């Protein structure tokens, strides 16, 4: 039997194929690809999932387990429409699967009728899949997953997921979601000024450069990690990234030398760390209010931006910081919700 775990995001499509035989589970294939829903359109989403199915070529006896965040895309009028479209597409594309499951915000799996009836229970539930998995490994911890676009923070207390927010707006309020990632975030949404020739210059609000440019020129990611489109449509090499960053204060690569541009990148990166640090202090405060010492909690990081999560966690006072790649491997770390969704199906099926 095979289980296909899907994480259908607004910017990335992640999938894993597991093979189950004789009580043992084997990872057969891992896929992570850029999937800009707002560019692809509805037909492109359908076609993308069809191509994915062709690529993984599941066996006749297979199950699909799906989580999603793509419903937030402005391709859809609202989240309910988005969830129902994605659920309907999965049902159509994978109609030959023996079972099709969807992760909800309570870390449970439901099938089509329940997902269609209660779409907001399915919306942006990828964190619930990951947290379900981590809670089985770590009793008291804070799980931090930083991807290309956003940062998820999930407290786990006494082996139970202990969130206050179940929707994106609630999570933004409670410090469980930061709309900051290591590839796609516009620089002018991170800082409102940058160092400029011994002073500070205010910024243009144009989309001149992204967080991926910052992380690449500072050596935090490699060119192969920069999978999304760039702000100007040009390449992802250091030269192109530096050129884009020079435009943030309405300058260019003639007005600023490379050393000056790198100082801008350092300033922006420190601001990124602070954004996550600030949210972690909010979460620490809540844990402390419940009578627990947050300094005794582990932090488990995941995603392409795990390096940022580690740095912010240490500054926030956490001493025991581990990466999920140390538990499941690096490939799994980058597609954790899809992997977790697949394992949830495995548990439901009693395999």
Strands 109-110 and 199-202: unpaired
Strands 321-323 and 298-302: parallel
For the chain, what percent of residues have pLDDT higher than 70? 100
Quick one: average pLDDT of 292-315? 97
Mean pLDDT of the chain: 97
The vertex-67 CA angle with 62 and 72, nearest 5°, equals 145
Task: Find tokens 């793509």 and name the residue.
Answer: 70
Pairwise CA distance, residues 351 & 339, whole Å: 15
Tokens of 130: 């990951």
The vertex-193 CA angle with 216 and 251, nearest 5°, equals 70
CATH fold group of domain 138-319: Nucleotidyltransferase; domain 5 (3.30.420)
Quick one: average pLDDT of 194-201? 98
Pairwise CA distance, residues 259 & 115, whole Å: 52
User: 305: pLDDT confidence band, cut at 50, 70 and 90?
Assistant: very high
pLDDT of residue 30: 96
Strands 298-302 and 199-202: unpaired
> Phi, psi at residue 100, to the nearest 5°?
-130, 120
- pLDDT above 90: residue 147: yes
Buried b (16+ CB within 10 A) or exposed e, 5-36: bbbbbbbbbbbbbbebeeeeeeebebbbeebb
Pairwise CA distance, residues 47 & 42, whole Å: 9
Strand partners, 38: none
> Are both 2-124+335-349 and 138-319 of the same fold?
yes
Pairwise CA distance, residues 156 & 297, whole Å: 9
pLDDT of residue 350: 87
- pLDDT above 80: residue 351: no
Q: What does the DSSP assignment read for 177-216?
A: EE---SSS-BGGGT-SEEEETTEEEE---S---BHHHHHH
User: 56: pLDDT confidence band, cut at 50, 70 and 90?
Assistant: very high
Q: Which CATH number fits domain 2-124+335-349: 3.30.420.40, 3.30.565.10, 3.40.50.800, 3.40.50.1980?
A: 3.30.420.40
User: 264: pLDDT confidence band, cut at 50, 70 and 90?
Assistant: very high
pLDDT of residue 119: 98
CA atoms within 13 A on the CB side of 306: 21
Q: Where are the domains of the chain?
A: 2-124+335-349, 138-319
pLDDT (tens digit, 9 = 90+) per residue, 130-146? 999 999 999 999 999 99
Please, are residues 46 and 93 in contact by the beta-carbon 8 Å criterion?
yes
């Amino acid at each position: 039997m095979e289980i296909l775990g899907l994480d259908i995001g607004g910017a990335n499509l992640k999938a894993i194929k597991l093979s189950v035989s004789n009580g043992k589970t084997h990872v057969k294939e891992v896929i992570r690809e850029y999937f800009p829903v707002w560019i692809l359109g509805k037909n492109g989403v359908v076609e993308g999932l069809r191509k994915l199915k062709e690529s993984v070529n599941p066996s006749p006896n297979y199950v699909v387990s799906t989580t999603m965040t793509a419903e937030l895309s402005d391709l859809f009028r609202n989240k309910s429409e988005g969830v129902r479209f994605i659920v309907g597409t999965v049902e159509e594309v994978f109609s030959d699967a023996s079972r099709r499951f969807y992760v909800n915000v309570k870390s449970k799996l439901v099938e089509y009728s329940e997902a269609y009836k209660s779409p907001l229970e399915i919306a942006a539930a990828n964190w619930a899949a990951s947290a379900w998995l981590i809670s089985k490994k770590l009793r008291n911890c804070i799980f931090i997953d930083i991807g290309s676009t956003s940062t998820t923070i999930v407290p786990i207390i006494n082996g139970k997921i202990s969130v206050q927010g179940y929707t994106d707006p609630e999570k933004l309020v409670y410090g469980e979601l930061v709309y900051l990632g290591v590839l796609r975030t516009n620089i002018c949404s991170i800082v409102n000024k940058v160092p400029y020739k011994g002073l500070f210059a205010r910024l243009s609000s144009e989309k001149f450069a992204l967080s991926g440019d910052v992380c690449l020129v500072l050596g935090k990611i490699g060119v192969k990690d920069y999978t999304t489109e760039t702000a100007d449509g040009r390449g992802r090499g250091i030269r192109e990234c530096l050129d884009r960053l020079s435009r943030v204060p309405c300058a260019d690569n003639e007005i600023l030398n490379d050393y000056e541009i790198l100082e801008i990148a350092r300033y922006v990166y420190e601001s990124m760390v602070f954004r996550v640090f600030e949210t972690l202090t909010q979460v620490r405060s809540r844990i402390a209010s419940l009578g627990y010492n947050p300094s005794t909690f582990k932090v488990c990081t995941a995603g392409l931006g795990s390096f940022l999560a580690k740095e912010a966690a240490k500054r926030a006072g956490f001493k025991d910081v581990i990466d999920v790649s140390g538990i499941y491997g690096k490939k799994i770390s980058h597609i954790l919700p899809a992997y977790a969704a697949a394992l949830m199906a495995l548990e439901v099926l009693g395999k």
